[in-house]
Amino acid sequence: MVSAPLTLLLRTKMEQTTMQAEKKYMPHPSYGDQPMDSGVTISRADIESAHWSYKQEIYFPQSAIWANIEKQNYGYHPRRVYVDIAKRCQSCDSLFIFYAKEQQFWYEKLGFYVDSDCHHCTSCRPKLFIAPVT
């Protein structure tokens, strides 16, 4: 019998392999459908220590950019780096990328709390905010 954490780890590894192999991401209106190369070199160790969630994410290190933590809304741990992250939409189950530049906009311009996360592709997001007609 496989323990729950090992089962989760195996599922996560299989999901990672699938997400990396497919490379078919929903297009973002501003950033496209592939990871962006930032031209900045940040090590995996620096990326994974930049925010507690990055060790659990499927991310693209070539997309990493340094964050301005003075502009962030955080309690204890800021995000010192933003990096393109592969996600699966909770609404339509398609793959999409939560882009580093989009994170920078969310956390530095809009003032979203740095532990907030993106769970829906850009196609599904507007549907979440449309009020039903009664």
Flag whether 3 is in a domain: no
Flag whether 2 is in a domain: no
> Model pTM?
0.80
Per the CB < 8 A criterion, the answer to whether 61 and 47 are in contact is: yes
Flag whether 104 is in a domain: yes
**In angstroms, rounded to a whole number, what is the distance separating the alpha carbons of residues 10 and 13?**
5
Q: For residue 24, what are the domain limits? A: 10-128
Flag whether 4 is in a domain: no
Count of structural domains within the chain: 1
Q: Using 50, 70 and 90 to split pLDDT, how confident is the model at 129?
A: confident
Q: Exposed (0-12), middle (13-18) or buried (19+): which is 37, by Cβ within 10 Å?
A: exposed
Read off the pLDDT of residues 5-64 as tens digits, 9 standing for 90 and up: 444 444 455 555 555 545 789 999 999 999 999 999 999 999 999 999 999 999 999 999
- What token pair was written down for 82? 């933003």
- DSSP-assigned letter for residue 79: -
